[in-house]
Structure 1
Amino acid sequence: MALTLGRISINNSFRRAIRHMSVNSTKGQRFYSTISKEEKTSANAGGTVISERRGTVMIIGINRPEARNAVNQETAQRLTEELSAFDQDNSLNVAVIYGVGGNFCAGFDLKELSQTSGSLIMEQDVRHVPGPMGPSRMRLSKPLIAAVSGYAVAGGLELALLADMRVVEESSIMGVFCRRFGVPLIDGGTVRLPQLIGLSRALDLILTGRPVKAQEALTFGLANRVVPDGQALQEALELAEQVSAFPQLCLRADRNSAYHAVFDSSSFTQAMQYEFDNGLPVIGAEAVTGATKFSLGAGRGGTFSKSKL
């Protein structure tokens, strides 16, 4: 969801939130963090975003069902806080994001936008502040899975693209619905979508704004799993637990290398070097132990287990 470009001139609550956002760097990632413990406690307690910890998995819900979970400024702030907290918590391995009440997210709240009378002006430098949808510009260091039900459109589609994988219910609808209202994609839609499904298919969606059903999304690679209605969150949680059970240093190194190759590498050789340099430390940290367990009989025949090897 894009708004007028320029310097920030928005309401006081969101301005305070932006002052608390600081860009942090880890190997190959950039993410936002906050320092307000009071706001973080409030977010966990309820409101427009709710969160729950289940073992090593964090569950984050957009909680505006009366607006099909359209994101307003408060929700954008809360989503950024929750995902930043997840990314920095060493005891958490995977996050799941979903929408409360049957819809993933209908995009930015256009009713709120319409009431600004043109006064909502966003910072042009994307390195300095969250996106209009909140965490859409983040580069998480750990996996995020989206459980998609109902509508995931406009900025809601962009939030779904932030995830590594999307578990989509059969009746779900995805699409660039903001095409109808002259609202551009500035939460990563034109960046992530072509990389995910290819330029030709991405332009089909971006130019027409047409609805995309679950099975077509699966064919495109926009959906990773299609499940019966009402089961996306449960399936996403089971997938998150499976991913969380693997040796995490290796998993994150491979994941980060894939992102680097797609978005940051200047050449094939540079991508290969990055892969090797970041994978090499994992051999001593996890691979030797894993190989020893394999030699003793664990995981023979390609069998997988939800428990750690």
Structure 2
Amino acid sequence: MSEPKILTERRGHVLLIGLNRPEKRNAADFELLSRLALAYGELERDPDLRVGLVHAVGEHFTAGLDLADLGPRIGRDGLSFVDEDGIDPWQVSGTPLSKPVVIAVQGTCLTLGIELILASDIAVAARGTRFGQIEVTRGILPFGGATLRFPRAVGWGNAMRYILTGDLFDAAEAHRIGLVQEVVEDGEQFDRALELAERIAAQAPLAVQAALANAKRAVRDGDAAAEAELQPALVRLVGSEDARIGMEAFLTRTEARFVGR
């Protein structure tokens, strides 16, 4: 039997989510997309999971969509691959993800790979990574969020420079424009991403989720909407067990071990 195209592993409070189609440079077919959505659903539903870490098996993160498999599946309403137990990893439809995602990329990172970065919260790239938002060279447009998030993340001109030409760019350029937050030596991207994921997972999960939700609210609905939710969120958090644990750790100068309540 062949291995599943998405591998999941629990590492403490972190869910590792691995693209596992290395023989095709992790190009996404329908099965891979569906299983990726299910993994995100697992991350969202399980209260013991606090952070997701998306990575890829093999030399490449992803060569993008497997159009030979997915092309015939694009109907009048577009492409649907998320069932009732899944969550759209690109966060352009359906249930919003409430937990943070760290992503580690290497090798080739095309189209939906960049859009996964844009839908995640922190990205680490291997120095040798090559990026490309190449949909226009295939006669389609980015439909996983790049038209929305790329300009916000890196500025209009930087985003259009690559969305409209389909040109490739390297990890240094990705870091310069702000697409990725760290560049490490080839082969070190997973370990560094895991360090960051575990660092997040060690914090109070309700507070992490509240901070993430408020930042997303500001992006989606504007500053005023996010500002209106700050004090109510603070009141809810102050009454939590984790807030008590955090205060005790501060007063006793010990390390807080949060419980998510």
Question: TM-score, normalised on structure 1?
Answer: 0.75
Counterpart pick for 1:275 among 230, 237, 241: 230
Cα offset, 1:294, TM superposition: 1.5
The SS at the match of 1:123 is coil
Counterpart pick for 1:59 among 7, 16, 24: 16
Whole-angstrom CA distance in 2 between matches of 1:60 and 1:129: 17
Q: Which residue of 2 aligns with 1:97?
A: 54
Alignment deviations for residues 92-115 of structure 1 (CA, whole Å, 9 cap, x no partner): 11111111101111111023246x
Unmatched runs of 5 consecutive residues or more in structure 1: 1-41, 299-304
The SS at the match of 2:23 is helix
Whole-angstrom CA distance in 2 between matches of 1:180 and 1:146: 26
The SS at the match of 2:149 is helix
Q: Which residue of 2 aligns with 1:136?
A: 90
Cα offset, 1:277, TM superposition: 2.1
Q: Which residue of 1 aligns with 2:220?
A: 263
Q: Which residue of 2 aligns with 1:229?
A: 186
Counterpart pick for 1:291 among 244, 247, 260: 247
Counterpart pick for 1:77 among 34, 42, 50: 34
Whole-angstrom CA distance in 2 between matches of 1:277 and 1:176: 40
The SS at the match of 1:91 is coil
Q: Which residue of 2 aligns with 1:244?
A: 201
Q: Structure 1 counterpart of 2:18, which letter?
A: G
Alignment deviations for residues 205-258 of structure 1 (CA, whole Å, 9 cap, x no partner): 211211121111111110111110011111111111111001111111011100
Cα offset, 1:129, TM superposition: 6.3
Alignment deviations for residues 38-64 of structure 1 (CA, whole Å, 9 cap, x no partner): xxxx9xx94111111111111111111
Alignment deviations for residues 64-108 of structure 1 (CA, whole Å, 9 cap, x no partner): 111110100111110001111111000111111111101111111
Q: Which residue of 1 aligns with 2:45?
A: 88
Q: Contact between 1:195 and 1:262, CA under 8 Å: does it hold in 2?
A: no
Q: Contact between 2:126 and 2:188, CA under 8 Å: does it hold in 1?
A: yes
1:207-218 counterparts in 2 under 5 A?
Answer: 207-218=164-175
Counterpart pick for 1:190 among 147, 166, 169: 147
Q: Contact between 1:218 and 1:225, CA under 8 Å: does it hold in 2?
A: yes
Matched, 1:68 2:25: yes
Q: Contact between 2:108 and 2:131, CA under 8 Å: does it hold in 1?
A: yes
Q: Contact between 1:152 and 1:160, CA under 8 Å: does it hold in 2?
A: no
Matched, 1:174 2:128: no
The SS at the match of 1:229 is coil
Q: Which residue of 1 aligns with 2:108?
A: 151
Whole-angstrom CA distance in 1 between matches of 2:190 and 2:121: 15
CA RMSD of the aligned region, Å?
2.5
Cα offset, 1:280, TM superposition: 2.3
Q: Contact between 1:75 and 1:134, CA under 8 Å: does it hold in 2?
A: no
The SS at the match of 2:102 is strand
Alignment deviations for residues 154-202 of structure 1 (CA, whole Å, 9 cap, x no partner): 1221122221111100000112122211121111111121221222211
Give the count of matched residue pairs.
Answer: 251
Identity between Structure 1 and Structure 2 (%) = 32
The SS at the match of 2:164 is helix
Q: Structure 1 counterpart of 2:29, which letter?
A: N
Question: TM-score, normalised on structure 2?
Answer: 0.88
Q: Contact between 1:96 and 1:145, CA under 8 Å: does it hold in 2?
A: yes
Q: Contact between 2:106 and 2:128, CA under 8 Å: does it hold in 1?
A: yes
